[in-house]
Amino acid sequence: MISSLGILNLFSIVFSIAFQIILVRFFGAASQTDVYYLTINIIQFVFTIHIGFITDLYIPIYNDIKTRSMEDCQKFTGGVLLMITLTSLLISVLVAFAALPITRLFATGFSAENIYFAARMVQILSLTIFFNSITMFLNATLNANFFLSITYISNAIPPLFNLMSLLFLAKSYGMIAIIYSLAIASMLNFIILFAFFILKIEWKVTNPFTQPDIKYLLKKNLPIRAGVWIYHLQAPITSNVLSYFPIGYITLFNYASSILSVLLRLITTSTIQVLHVNISNLLALHKLDEAKSFLISTIKNNVTLFMCLLMPTVILFKEICRLILFPRVTLDQISIMFNLFLALSPLYFILSMETPFVTTTLVMKNGKKMIHAAAVFILYYGICLIMTLSFLKVYALPVALLFAQMQSIIIYARFVQKKLQVIEIKMTKLILFCIIFMMLMIAINLIISDNSYFTIILNSLLIFAWFISARKEIKISFQFMMKKNLIKK
């Protein structure tokens, strides 16, 4: 199952990578791209804190209701659909009207001109909150019924549409053409999934406020959502800090982060989605040993394959950026971007481990633990930023994020360990092994960065040593990714 989903996911990611590369090659690391990334961060922040209020526990509760009564399940689906349609429409309208003050909250260091330009783009993209929220619900329902392939096929449409818009419209209409393409692409994605949803899923339109199951969903989701709100306060904090650095730094930081995000998505998008569905079903059936085994396999798979992608990316990063982005992006900017990439790498490695723990905690419906983890994260992030910003400058951001994320994963791992006893010696050794190789690679590229040929040789030797030493784990991970289970077409 994961293998076919991974292939479908790859198409979406390839289009996304191409879009990101051409975007910066076309506009450079300048004020327009800074405004673009700021706008995307604002919309993503609003979307994230809104959508999960309904969908966080939707799949496990949906599965519980489905085992009890199909009639109740149909009413539950229709009621949630109506509720999410109304709330997302309201949020979209509010964001459109309050675009200017919202933008100011995210970039207090921006010039007035850039603030107004960003606010205009936020107004346009407020439409995506409506369509993407409903699409998220449709994805969740289809995934709960194992219609996974269609969600991955439709997800490839927005990045492809955006790429075509960038190639053929940006030269004539500028950045605003990209923004309109994002809005139109989200609408197309919604239309395709909604058509499939109508054909495959039975549902009944009902009043959501009279259904006890929906009241239970909202009650359970509230503490989880509170945790997510707290955790994602990092977005306005980070964007505000970056807004005080010279023009281009928002682009450089987000570009480095985007590359690592792509690597993480390549590994985790399909595995976490399958984990969410399987863990929900296994825990509902009280099959704890099977749930434990699947969770351990997912964690091992994530860390091993993330390292397999990270290490070659490090050795190719600068050369590819120079080839593709120079001279629109200067050599000094490429060096800063590469250093940010290295500094952010441990953070994304931790996320590859933490995401399965978070997913399991979510399925277990423990909102208090998520509030606890989020509060600790944002507290440590803020304190670490205050302590390091004056001397680490922009690199204080990845250091603070890493330190805070380490506290978060400890909380989630301890909670899941009490329930499933997943932490074992083999998994711990594998994680430590990956950390040692990652830190060696970071040290090599930071200490002897001036000698490119010597750095390439040492990186190549380190990668060779990694693949030889971890060949057994890599083989097991690929077998896990290629494991075949039932997918409804």
SS3 content of the chain, % helix, strand, coil (to 5): 85, 0, 15
What residue type is assigned to position 330 of the chain? T
User: And the tokens for 417?
Assistant: 């360990």
pLDDT tens-digit readout, 27-55? 888 889 999 999 999 999 999 888 776 77
Sign of CA dihedral 229, 50, 33, 247: negative
Dihedrals φ, ψ of 470, to 5°?
Answer: -105, 20
Distance CA 204, CA 76 (A): 8
Quote the pLDDT of residue 45.
Answer: 92
Quick one: DSSP state of residue 247?
Answer: T
| Alpha-carbon distances, residue 339 vs 111, 314, 333, 443, 444 (angstroms) | 27, 10, 10, 11, 12
Sign of CA dihedral 236, 241, 243, 248: negative
- DSSP for 86-142? HHHHHHHHHHHHTHHHHHHHH-TTS-HHHHHHHHHHHHHHHHHHHHHHHHHHHHHHH
Residue with tokens 């784990």: 473
Orientation of helix 331-363 relative to helix 367-392, angle to 10°: 160
56 with 362: CB under 8 angstroms? yes
Distance CA 107, CA 27 (A): 20
Distance CA 5, CA 123 (A): 34
User: And the tokens for 169?
Assistant: 């419209």
Distance CA 435, CA 300 (A): 13
Quote the pLDDT of residue 486.
Answer: 38
Distance CA 121, CA 128 (A): 12
Quote the pLDDT of residue 184.
Answer: 92
| Alpha-carbon distances, residue 93 vs 51, 102, 124, 161 (angstroms) | 15, 13, 11, 25
Q: How many CA atoms lie within 13 A of 353 on its CB side?
A: 26
User: And the tokens for 439?
Assistant: 């830190």
- DSSP for 327-343? TTS-HHHHHHHHHHHHH
User: And the tokens for 42?
Assistant: 């604002």
Quote the pLDDT of residue 487.
Answer: 37
Distance CA 175, CA 33 (A): 8
| Beta-carbon contacts of residue 15 (< 8 Å; ≥ 6 apart) | 156, 159, 160, 162, 163
178 with 162: CB under 8 angstroms? yes
Orientation of helix 31-55 relative to helix 234-243, angle to 10°: 170
Other C-beta atoms closer than 10 Å to the C-beta of 208 total 23
Q: Quote the pTM value.
A: 0.86
366 with 283: CB under 8 angstroms? no
User: And the tokens for 436?
Assistant: 């040692």
Regions of the chain where pLDDT drops below 70 = 1-9, 53, 449-451, 481-489
Distance from chain centroid for Cα 61: 23
Greatest extent of the chain over all pairs of C-alpha atoms, in Å: 69
Domain spans of the chain, in order of start:
27-244, 245-483
304 with 431: CB under 8 angstroms? no
What residue type is assigned to position 442 of the chain? I
Would you call 345 exposed, middle or buried from its count of C-beta atoms within 10 A (0-12, 13-18, 19+)? buried
H-type alpha helices, 174-233? 175-200, 212-231
Distance CA 130, CA 387 (A): 39
